[in-house]
Chain A
Amino acid sequence: MKIVACIKYSLDASEVKVDAASKELKMAGVPYKVGVIDKHVLEMAVSLQEAYGGTVHAITVGPVSAKESFREALAMGLEEVVLIENPLEGQVAPDVTAVVLAEAIQKLGDVDLVVCGEVSDDGFTYQVPPRLAEALNMPLISFARTAAIENGRLVADRDLEDSVQTVSVPLPALISVVEESNTPRRPTLLEAMKAKKKPVNIWNVETDLGLSAADLQQKAALEKVSAEGVVVHRKRQILKGDDLNALSNELVDLLLADHILEGGA
């Protein structure tokens, strides 16, 4: 079985701060790393490979400078990482990402299963897996908590708001996994050593995939007009001390004074 894991070198959104006066987003120095969800994607892909045989190839669209960040991913049990050099300036829109990933998956050839995360840590649009399913014309099981291959079909639990469905689709297929699907493994030192020999292959959208960077630039349906940080004003009054009775009465007094509570003389 040939399994492709789609992963992303993501910006750590929890490190983005807002200038309270100007509402400017402070992006300088915000770190990038392989995302939290991507570890679950890799775990799902590798454990399926262990159960049913075959190989796991990870693909990603990102900057070439991310090359060294995939060592741990490789050590989890991958054959290779294919890093498709970001053809555009800055963040790639989900509609463009899906087109590029679809082309790369076709080039890898004879793919049986594509594993994605439900949503990326930074982009947070939920668009790539369904758009990729449409582009590849393959069925998708989204929001999966489990996955198994039974009689040549992919069977998984699909976790929706009000229900959990057990569903099946014929292969080749895509699956998008939720964080709750598994606990990612930690590679051993030996695996980490071996991973140093595994390749991060760099592909170019034009020379390797035959796409036009100019066309891709045109394709992005959304044009950013402006950005600003959300500033929520809170009182931030801290109550501390050893006398919990006094603290609780102080809290009730404050909530009464603010007219959040009433009565309670």
Chain B
Amino acid sequence: MPGILVYSEKHQVVRELLGKARQVADEKGMAVAAVYLGESVPEDLADLGAWGADTVYTVASPLLVGLNPETYTDALAGVIAEVKPELVLVGATKPGLEISARTAARLGAGVASFCVDFDFSAEGVVTAQCMIYSGVGINTYQIKTQPALATVAPAVFEAVKRDGSAVVTALDVSIRQPAMTILEYKEKAAAGVRWEDAPVIVDVGMGMSDKSHLGLAEELASLFEGQVACSRPVSSERDWFPEWLGLSGKKIHADLCITLGISGSIQHVVGIRDSKTIVAINSDENAGIFSQADYGVIADLHEFVPILVAALKARSAKLAR
């Protein structure tokens, strides 16, 4: 009987959740299982054994399409009812946040949101550490229900490769016709860029005056094979990128993060603060980002970035290996 069950619609997040689940389960002598939900079952699911799963439970149904939260909840709740895990970890993507809360409501279970660490007490009670107040603090909770659920943001835990092959078991779970109809499905452009894996991030904020200047950020990033990312309003108000960094966006742990015109609100900083070194460029010497950075340059980014790029090139400075 599996102690820990993990689910995410994102393959990489499944591996990350398995990495941590495996580590804790080994200490406690528990089993680990992953859940796969979809229209049909891919061939290679046994490979999840190499990421820590003992078992992969699958539910296939023509109703499991378009991430419809109603049918995915039926399926996940059904799997949990059958497998009876102690703890269920769900990736804190938007679909994951919705179906975990719905599933928990049906099962009368608690959800620890934005969990960054967890353990089992000697009595088998789950304790979870969770981000609170936009990441200003961490609360430790005991989850009093069985099962206990926790949501975990992408890139919080590390995927760990090992030897092994998982047993794939198909479950027959009843899924109802949903009330929600999906009329149109539009993929976002450039979705799926893995900022989480980039060694260097150039992080653009509202201080960049115009999209024509994005080339400056791209040139700076290209010197280090890095990527350009942004704050929420740069994505949501200006639509320069499909995603953003921060509390409600992606979280990075780059070797070097250079912010350009970012004010330093906690909701943004929580997405970049796991970076090794942070450099902030902002024209306002009172900007909050300077207290969150290793090096701050008080300058107009549009003037400073070309000069910095020239200096890096002239001195052929590279990211240290």
Contact = CB atoms under 8 A, between A and B. Distances in A.
B308 A161 contact: no
Nearest to B111: A127
A257 B67 CA distance: 49
Contacts of B92: 126
Interface string A125-136: 111011101110
Interface in B246-285: 247-248, 255-256, 265-267, 273, 276-279, 285
A251 B308 contact: yes
A120 to B, nearest CB: 11
A227 interface: yes
Interface string A147-170: 000000001000111111111111
B85 to A, nearest CB: 16
A260 B320 contact: yes
Contacts, number: 265
B165 interface: no
Contacts of A18: 136-137
Interface stretch (B22-30, B50-58, B138-146): B138-146
Contacts of A234: 278, 291-294
B191 A260 contact: no
A259 B318 CA distance: 10
A21 interface: no
B312 A224 contact: no
A227 B131 CA distance: 10
A264 B312 contact: yes
Interface residues of A, number: 80
A108 to B, nearest CB: 21
What interface size band does chain B fall in? 35 or more
B186 A264 contact: no
Residue among A161, A244, A247 with the highest chain B CB neighbour number at 10 A: A161
B136 A225 contact: no
A181 B247 CA distance: 18
Residue among B112, B132, B181, B294 with the highest chain A CB neighbour number at 10 A: B132
A140 B68 CA distance: 11
B266 A237 contact: no
B98 A247 contact: no
11 contacts: A14-B134, A14-B265, A126-B113, A162-B187, A163-B191, A222-B110, A225-B140, A227-B137, A235-B293, A247-B299, A255-B279
Interface of B: 66-67, 69-70, 92-95, 97-99, 101-102, 104-106, 108-114, 127, 131-145, 148, 151, 178-188, 191-192, 236-237, 242-243, 247-248, 255-256, 265-267, 273, 276-279, 285, 290-299, 303-304, 307-308, 310-312, 315-321
Interface of A: 11, 13-14, 16-18, 25, 94-95, 98, 119, 122, 124-127, 129-131, 133-135, 139-143, 155, 159-170, 178-180, 220-230, 232, 234-240, 244-245, 247-249, 251-252, 254-256, 258-265
